[in-house]
Amino acid sequence: VGHIQAEKLSLRLATLPIAAVYASPMKRTVKTAEILAGPLNLKVNSCPFCEPLDSFLYLLAYPHDWIPNRLST
């Protein structure tokens, strides 16, 4: 059931300006993140500091060029 919900959500998220997807290393969280990132043509970035959390998924809805500029400062 969870993967079906994620697939439906991925279609809605595909219309938003999401620039990055981060997930904790837990298998089920990574799998969900991969489903959500697919229609966005994004890869899932690992978020190792989130590992103590049961599950963690973070979507950045910023212009695509905003993130590299912020990471370099």
Cα separation, 72 vs 51, in Å, equals 25
Q: What is the pLDDT of residue 41?
A: 94
Output the pTM of the full model.
Answer: 0.70
Q: What is the pLDDT of residue 71?
A: 46
Q: What is the pLDDT of residue 51?
A: 64
Give tens-digit pLDDT for 18-73: 888 888 888 888 899 899 999 999 999 887 776 655 555 665 555 555 454 544 44
Residue 10: band (very low, low, confident or very high) from pLDDT cuts 50, 70, 90: very high
HEC-encoded secondary structure of the chain: CHHHHHHHHHHHHCCCCCCEEEECCCHHHHHHHHHHHHHHCCCEEECHHHCCCCCCEEEECCCCCHHHHHHCC
